[in-house]
């Protein structure tokens, strides 16, 4: 049997990223343009000397429990300013023209010009990531020190996650207020009213390495039902309205206990 390359995971990730990028760019034309934005949470403020999250992890590793609690609260206080931001945009593409459906021979607008959409080339029933924060071990340099700092890193992420569940709902609402829908595979657009965002602490490495993240899925109340969706036909501002069958599976939140 051929030996599996040590960097197979990274190679597969690069292939997926190229495929997703190709899918996004396929929308560019008369109706859409690229508008790639990302989410971030500010973890430094005031006279804070730690300019990277890893520096904070290093600092908290060598303090007493009382100091840990105080420094963790400082991080939360800094993050609070980001959570209060009303203008939060997460998108991959933006509509250059209004988008319509046909109703009794008449064009009816369903998405106005300037509508932001996140693009996810995946099944509509998926529960996946919208964004991840503070993923320090993605860095090759930091990943070499993972064995030393993983426990304290997980403690920090756990503390932030437990706190943000109560403080971060407005932030999720503001993301939704600036997004019109999510485009899944086969050019299928699900309006944002049917999408749920939630905070999670699960990362791509599972529960061994926690990650503060925002995940998305179709709202649980639509399980086993149909919801309206729209199919974009390349080059046309007329969308095809399609009833989407939502899986009846009762999927629990993806959260590490």
Residue-wise pLDDT for 38-51, tens only, equals 999 988 876 665 67
pTM (predicted TM-score):
0.90
pLDDT interval class at 86 (50, 70, 90): confident
The model's pLDDT over 10-31, given as tens digits with 9 standing for 90+, comes to 676 777 788 889 999 999 999 9
DSSP letter string, 166-216: HH-HHHHHHHHHT--EEE-GGGEEEEGGGEEEEEE--BTTBTTS--EEEEE
The model's pLDDT over 93-106, given as tens digits with 9 standing for 90+, comes to 999 999 999 999 99
pLDDT interval class at 138 (50, 70, 90): confident
């Amino acid at each position: 049997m051929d030996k599996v390359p040590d960097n197979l995971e990274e190679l597969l990730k690069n292939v997926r990223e190229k495929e997703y990028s190709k899918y996004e760019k396929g929308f560019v034309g008369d109706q859409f343009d690229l508008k790639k934005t990302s989410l971030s949470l500010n973890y430094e403020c005031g006279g804070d000397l730690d300019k990277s999250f890893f520096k904070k992890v290093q600092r908290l590793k060598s303090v007493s429990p009382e100091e840990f609690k105080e420094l963790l609260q400082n991080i939360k206080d800094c993050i609070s300013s980001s959570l209060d931001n009303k203008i939060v945009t997460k998108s991959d593409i933006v509509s250059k023209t209004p988008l319509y459906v046909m109703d009794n021979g008449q064009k009816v607008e369903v998405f106005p010009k300037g509508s932001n959409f996140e693009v996810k080339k995946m099944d509509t029933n998926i529960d996946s990531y919208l964004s991840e924060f503070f993923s320090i071990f993605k860095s090759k340099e930091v990943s070499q020190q993972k064995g030393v700092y993983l426990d304290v890193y997980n403690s920090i992420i756990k503390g932030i996650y437990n706190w943000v569940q109560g403080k971060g709902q407005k932030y999720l609402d503001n993301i939704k207020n600036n997004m019109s829908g999510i485009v899944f595979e086969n050019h299928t657009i699900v309006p944002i009213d049917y999408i749920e965002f939630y905070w999670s602490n699960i990362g791509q490495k599972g529960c061994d390495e926690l990650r503060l993240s925002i995940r998305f899925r179709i709202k649980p109340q639509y399980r086993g039902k149909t919801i309206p969706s729209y199919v974009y036909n390349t080059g046309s501002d007329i969308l095809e309205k399609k009833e989407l069958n939502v899986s009846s599976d009762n999927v629990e939140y993806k959260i590490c206990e």
